Amino acid sequence: MLGAFMIADFRYDASPEVEDVVVELFWDHGERMGRIKTPDMVGDAMVVHGLPHPEPLPVISAVAYAMVLAAQSNRRLRLSGDQSVWPQEWGTLISPH
């Protein structure tokens, strides 16, 4: 079995910029979930290129997809929402303030 350990810290921002790619963390019936929010230009590009619309996903999938979207659009990735969703063993949430 592979361990679930990240090798990086992630930026947490309770009020991320509208130009950031954001994973909003939340609990859904005891499940760790993430909702990806993108700037309008990124969302429009996703439609043009036929990428799936980011519906709420298990948190690991949401973070992975958001990382790709942020890298492809040259934008910052930020986590927001309920910090208790983030497993400590994945890394540290760093606040920009």
Residue 66 lies in a domain: yes
- Tokens for 84? 């208790």
CA–CA distance, 80 with 52 (Å, rounded to integer): 21
Mean pLDDT, residues 5-32 taken together: 88
Domain count, the chain: 1
Domain presence at residue 5: no
Give 69's pLDDT tier (boundaries 50, 70, 90): confident
What does pTM read for this prediction?
0.82
Write the pLDDT tens digit of every residue in 25-46. Answer: 999 999 999 999 988 777 666 6
Query: Could you tell me which residues are beta bridge partners of residue 28?
Result: 31
Residue 1 — pLDDT band, cuts 50, 70, 90? very low
Which domain does 26 fall in, by range? 10-94
DSSP sequence for 62-88: HHHHHHHHHHHHT--EEEEE-GGGS-G
11 three-state secondary structure:
strand
In a domain, 21, yes or no: yes
> Would residue 2 count as lying in a domain?
no
Give the model's pLDDT for residue 3.
55
